[in-house]
Amino acid sequence: MRLLVLFVVVSCISLTAQKVRDASHLTPNGKGWGEDRDNAPPEARPFAVTTGNGISYHGGPVMSASPVPVYFIWYGNWNSTGSNSATTVNLIENYLYSGSGLNYSGYENINTTYGDSTHNVSGGVQFTSGNDWFPGYPNGTRLRDATIQTIVSNYISQKQGGAGDTNGIYFVLTSSDVTETSGFCTKYCGWHTRGTIGGRDIKYSFVGNPDRCPSACEAQTNSPNGDSGADGMASIMAHETEEAISDPDLNAWYDSSGYENADKCAWKWGPTTGTVGNGGYNQTLAGKHWLIQMNWENARGGGCDQMLGGTFYTH
């Protein structure tokens, strides 16, 4: 999640005592930065994987379904032209999240270096035809964090009979005329979290259309697939997918600053074919070219990688 400018100001003048901020207590909020929380979970050592390669395990579960199913809620108008079109939907559903897209790819397999006390991440993630919904604008064009959960709840009620999939990720994807009032385009481009919906622990994510603010949420408007909205969303969605799987309840994998695995590699591409900004790409998935940020590999000392076992890059 790209931040234009983020200033943290800590006041040192107070009439009452103020505790010193301890970086070791920062936990992720799912929006790309850590927060100081008193209820941080205790440290626990994972059974399946090694911890400490620039990122640590904190005792929570990972998502281990093989593959992890994804559900798409296309909120707003997806029947116009440009970035709000059926072309955008087709690229995301039938290429990026298809069986030959991210699913068990070298890129997605970076996440297999994460696990919890009983499971490793499988590296599989897949959309199945019919697992999408086009509700229009039932909640208007200005959404709040709580509204995103309501939209997910409505999907589960109308498409799944009220029983949501605790092993899946629900994406709320908005057309470019929709904003999220807690900081879309100024603090983040997407986020993930969890909520109790219908008595179940449901993982979900908000991803705004980056064509709303290309200077903040798109690396390039001249994109590999000729659809800047879809191509910009691809990297944001990959970011949120990696984090939702390795840290679904915000209490599993993150570093001392509260950064989750994809946060540590945000807006880092590694080597590309072509120039970033002019249609450059670093992944070929399902026969399409994509510019997708790297992910943090929890192995070999840790580092940002384009594919499992590849070469680490810092820039």
Residue with tokens 């999240």: 97
Residues 41/28, Cβ–Cβ less than 8 Å:
no
- The pLDDT value recorded for residue 84 is 64
Q: What is the distance between the alpha carbons of residues 88 and 257, in angstroms, rounded to a whole number?
A: 35
Which amino acid, one-letter code, is at 146? Answer: A
pLDDT band for 43, please (50, 70, 90 cuts).
very low
Q: Please give the model's pTM, rounded to 2 decimal places.
A: 0.86
- The pLDDT value recorded for residue 27 is 62
Q: What is the distance between the alpha carbons of residues 84 and 99, in angstroms, rounded to a whole number?
A: 24
Residues 72/133, Cβ–Cβ less than 8 Å:
yes
Instruction: Report how far apart, in Å, the C-alpha atoms of 110 and of each of 106, 124, 163, 201, 261 are.
Output: 7, 11, 31, 25, 10
Is residue 45 pLDDT above 60, yes or no? no
- The pLDDT value recorded for residue 15 is 31
Is residue 175 pLDDT above 80, yes or no? yes
Is residue 28 pLDDT above 80, yes or no? no
State the average pLDDT over residues 249-277.
96
State the average pLDDT over residues 21-31.
55
- The pLDDT value recorded for residue 142 is 98
pLDDT band for 49, please (50, 70, 90 cuts).
low
Residues 293/236, Cβ–Cβ less than 8 Å:
no
- Provide, rounded to the nearest whole percent, the portion of the chain with pLDDT above 70: 83
Count of beta carbons in the 10 Å neighbourhood of residue 7: 4
- Fill in the DSSP letter of residue 24: G
Is residue 238 pLDDT above 90, yes or no? yes
